Amino acid sequence: MDLYNEAQKRKLEYTTRRHFLKKCSTGLGGIALASLMGPQYMFGGNNTVNSLDPGSLPHFLPKAKRVIYLHMAGAPSQLELFDYKPALQKLHGLDCPQSLLEGKRFAFIQGVPKMLGPQFNFKKYGQSGTYVSDALPHFSEIVDDVAIVKSMHTDEFNHAPAQLLLQTGSPRSGRPSIGAWVTYGLGSENENLPGYMVLVSGGKNPSAGKNAWGSGFLPSEYQGVQCRNSGDPILYVSNPNGMSRDIRKKSLDAINEINRSQYKEFNDDETLSRISQYEMAFKMQVSVPDVMDVSKEPEYIRDMYGAKQGEASFANNCLLARRLVEQGVRFVQLYHWGWDMHGDSKATSLNEGLKTKCGEVDQPMAALVKDLKQRGLLDDTLVVWGGEFGRTPMRENRGGRIMPYYGRDHHTEAYSIWMAGGGIKGGISYGETDEIGYYGVKDRVHIHDLQATILNQLGINHEKFTYHFQGRDFRLTDVHGRVVKDLLV
Amino acid sequence: MTFFLETNIYQFFGRFHAMLVHLPIGFIILAVVFEMLALKKKIDLNRAISYAFLAGALSGVLSIVLGLMLASDGGYNEATLNIHKWTGITMTMIAFLLFFMKRKQKTRLWTQKSYPVLVIILVALLFVAGHNGGNLTHGSDYLLEHAPNPIRALAGMEPIRERVTDLDEALVYEDVIHPIFESKCNVCHNNDKAKGDLLLTDAESILKGGKNGNVIVAGNANESELYRRVTLNPTHKEFMPTEGRTPLTNEETMLVQWWIDEGAHFDKKVVELNLTDRIKAYLRDVGIGLKKTFIENLDLKKVDGKVIEAIQAEGFKIKPVSGNSALLEVTYSSYNKEPITTNKLEMLLKAKTNIVWLDFSGVPLNEDVVPKLGQLENLVALRMSNSNLTDAGIKAFESLKHLEYLNLYGNPISDASLESLQKLKGLQKLYLWKTNVSDEGMKSLKAYLEGATIVSGL
């Protein structure tokens, strides 16, 4: 007789289902209570606070319906392209005065650097008489359609945080990017394509990585969809062998049906996101290969951009950007990598590397503005071109040594961008920097001001456009930003 | 007492007056309500009533002490303050009296007779004290500021001057600066509560300045105390508006600066001063010189939701141009496999007066469909690039009198369409790239449509 086993057996016989239910009353009750009080709170959904009234946006009559953002990752030198400083030429090669260095921090400059004059010649172009350097011959043809802002400034002097600040309003990752905000607020104009698409050229992703087009705390269907330059534009966009479009449709319908009943039960917003993503993916199987096919353009248009089929070039991406906005994509973002001209090698020198980069973007970006204009799209498409910060009027002296080539260090206080279309004045230069382009001295424009202005053109009041997350309302511009009225028509 | 050296302890306690003063008001009303209840229901509430009066009287004493502390700072209209002070003190005394009378009501006859009289006086005084107190805190204009003009007339106030918003006619002080002062400054700088002895209600008092002298140096904003105060760091002790009230916006500050720099005129029109583009933009922000476009002037009823749904069911994308506007924009995606038929368009035309923007670009249209578009009487922007339009179709657009934007690029139309296009006098932008319109045709069209930019390719 095994007393121990006998005791176990008796105990198990004694313990009935009733005991279980009795003992669990607090735990089960708690779970039941939570699901009664509001199932959405159990699964992270918060669809009551943020249910965006579809009728509430835009806040006022928009000037622009779409945005093409041309981000020059690495930060081009304003002193070689737009901000003409003859006085800096005179100081070329002299020691930088101590007054400019005191209390300053640079990414690489150490000790006393030398001043560095502009490396390209400038001429006036257009009826507006806008100064543009020789490096951008095609751009000089469109200056009368463009507003150049020369007094941009930012808070961050390293690439990744500066790119994030520009694209998400915060130098740390995790916030939604401006494209996600805009598509969240205004939706897409074409149900067959994502509202926010991203094209990358120049050989590398931007330093900020995919956070630069992330959706942060917004529903994930608003994140930017990156398209590839070769193969399928989007991974797995074509059906595998043996899978017909009908079968694909049936299987997606079945999955969505399950997801829908799941949503009914748990009210988690991300389930809805997932459903719409599946539906979008199915439509994209047809629409994306079509819209991403450069060969559908006539040859003279391809030549205008300098686009060649199958290339991962900025020219192709500019042409694609036009095709996308033509189809009603709300926010198209182009990243072109490689503007970080420190002067440590030939490829990163102002005289050689910058010229190459300018050659890659000059014709396509001018063609983009012209092409949008002749199609009547420039009226309601806002084009923005610029880097994440500027470059110093001093020559970089990494480690206190003389660099092999001419280069400039990162600079936050003053740099230039340009904007065109979407209700922005053409043929103006806004803001002024001092004689050497070191500080903005008139009409300074902060990154948040730029963001506020872009949203304003889309009919959005940046102070009212919020999303409730982790206990507070978030804005793209946080607590900053003012619309730059002088730039508007 | 170093703790209080830096601060005004009288003011610290005094500001609780506005809060605590509601206690006696509440207790007295409670006593009166009980009294009426007792009369009506014939129940004995005498104890409750007497204690309510006592509580009213005691809290009244506290309110009086705090009120006197608050008033010590000055800046209030003396006459109003006196009335307020003495009505308050009288009320407290009456409340004490009523408390004692109520306790001994049964014993003496004369108290029974005078009791109701005193209660009525007390209630009357309550209103007098309350109203004057409100005037002292918010200004005498506060209560009726937004009253309709007939009520303002009854109160002997001037009717509200209709603000002139036309740039050519607006007065710089009356229409621009005065409204800013009214909304942001005059809660404290008015006839009843001239804080710092400063009134900002009219030209005379603004020029008179406050207890520290002039607040405005005509022609020099940077030397003007008023401008200095509103542009300080908001955390600065002297920043205005104070006490956490809404500060002036950036635009309002710039307009005040401009007004002072231009000489702080009280009678000139806006256009008589130096007007830069930037100032014009700021003026638009406060509602001056907004040139309303055609569609901004349109006052239409919203289209019924069911009609909108029926239109959507036909494949059109239709939504308000902004927020809750009644105006609609319509698109038809070129991804739609079905062409736009007459039936579909008939459905769309049920909302025809409200449609102001229409985008059919890339959608081939049949010849029997196009003429119907002429019924969209309020259409302002029409995008029909690459839509297979012919000269015959363009004829229908002659009736679109308000059209400002017309995009016809990529349509096989020729010089035969020019006659119709010439009639669209309101056009600002016309796109004719990749059409068969000749160069001479473009030139002649430009002569007719002077205000329009015609884009025929680059």
> Hey, where are the domains in chain A?
3-37, 66-233+292-487
Confidence of residue B163 (pLDDT cuts 50, 70, 90): confident
Helices B22-41 + B78-103 axis angle, to 10:
40
pLDDT of B314 strictly over 80: yes
β pairing state of A445-446 and A146-153: parallel
CB A485, CB A147: distance < 8 Å: no
Nearest CA in chain B to A185: B323
Residues with Cβ within 8 Å of B45's Cβ and at least 6 positions away in sequence, in order, are B34, B35, B37, B38
Residue B324, chain A, CB below 8 Å: the answer is yes
CA distance A350 to A366: 22
Nearest CA in chain B to A374: B457
Chain A residues in contact with B285 by the CB 8 A cut-off are: 485
CA distance A290 to A312: 17
Nearest CA in chain A to B382: A376
Residue B453, chain A, CB below 8 Å: the answer is no
A250 CA: distance to closest CA in chain B (Å)? 21
CA distance B260 to A407: 48
**Residues present in chain A in total:** 489
Residue B7: per-residue pLDDT = 65
Residue B195, chain A, CB below 8 Å: the answer is no
Contact at CB, B322 and A191, closer than 8 angstroms: no
Q: How many CB pairs under 8 A join A and B?
A: 68
A190 CA: distance to closest CA in chain B (Å)? 7
Residue B288: per-residue pLDDT = 83
Residue B331, chain A, CB below 8 Å: the answer is yes
Contact at CB, B385 and A376, closer than 8 angstroms: yes
Buried residues in B44-80 as b, exposed as e (16+ CB within 10 A): ebeebbbbbbbbbbbbbebbbebbebbbeeebbbeeb
Unique residue bearing structure tokens 């469109």: A142
Residues with Cβ within 8 Å of A337's Cβ and at least 6 positions away in sequence, in order, are A73, A74, A200, A201, A202, A203, A204, A205, A206
Confidence of residue B73 (pLDDT cuts 50, 70, 90): confident
Residue B307, chain A, CB below 8 Å: the answer is no
Residue A376: per-residue pLDDT = 94
Nearest CA in chain B to A55: B323
Residue A45: per-residue pLDDT = 46
Residue B350: per-residue pLDDT = 94
**pLDDT averaged over chain B?**
87
Unique residue bearing structure tokens 């930060």: A75
Closest CA to B201 of B223, B179, B216: B179
Calculated CA dihedral for residues B395, B398, B403, B405, nearest 10 degrees: 30
Average pLDDT over residues B147-173: 79
Residue A34: per-residue pLDDT = 64
Is A66-233+292-487 a CATH 3.40.720.10 domain? yes
Read off the pLDDT of residues B30-56 as tens digits, 9 standing for 90 and up: 999 999 998 898 888 888 999 999 999
Higher pLDDT among residues B169 and A252, named by residue: A252
| Residue to substitute from B250, B322, B411, interface A, most A β-carbons within 10 A | B322
Q: Output the DSSP codes for B188-248.
A: TEETTEEGGG---SSHHHHHH-BTTB-S--TT-GGG-HHHHHHHS-TTSTT-SS-TTPPPP
Confidence of residue B210 (pLDDT cuts 50, 70, 90): confident
Read off the pLDDT of residues B99-143 as tens digits, 9 standing for 90 and up: 988 887 665 666 677 888 999 999 999 999 999 998 888 877 778
Residue B286: per-residue pLDDT = 83
CB nearest A58 (choices: B281, B323, B334): B323
Confidence of residue B90 (pLDDT cuts 50, 70, 90): very high
Closest CA to B122 of B147, B146, B141, B96: B96
Residue B458, chain A, CB below 8 Å: the answer is yes
ipTM over 0.95: no
CB nearest A56 (choices: B285, B323, B431): B323
Contact at CB, B250 and A482, closer than 8 angstroms: yes
Contact at CB, B433 and A374, closer than 8 angstroms: yes
Phi, psi of A237 (to 5 degrees): -75, -25
Calculated CA dihedral for residues B103, B106, B107, B111, nearest 10 degrees: 80
Residue A387: per-residue pLDDT = 97
Chain A residues in contact with B317 by the CB 8 A cut-off are: 189
Structure tokens at B65: 């002490």
Nearest CA in chain A to B285: A485
CA distance B351 to A364: 42
Chain A residues in contact with B295 by the CB 8 A cut-off are: 61
Q: Which residues pair with A423 in a beta bridge?
A: none
- Return per-residue pLDDT of chain A as tens, 489 residues: 578 888 888 888 887 777 777 776 666 676 676 666 655 554 444 444 555 554 578 999 999 999 999 999 999 999 999 999 999 999 999 999 999 998 888 889 988 999 999 999 999 999 999 999 999 999 999 999 999 999 999 999 999 999 999 999 999 999 999 999 999 999 888 888 899 999 999 888 999 999 999 999 998 889 999 988 777 888 888 888 888 999 999 999 999 999 999 999 988 888 888 898 888 889 888 888 888 888 899 999 999 999 988 788 999 999 999 999 999 899 999 999 999 999 999 999 999 999 999 999 999 999 999 999 999 999 999 999 999 999 999 999 988 888 889 999 999 999 999 999 999 999 999 999 999 999 999 999 999 999 999 999 999 999 989 998 888 889 999 999 999 999 998
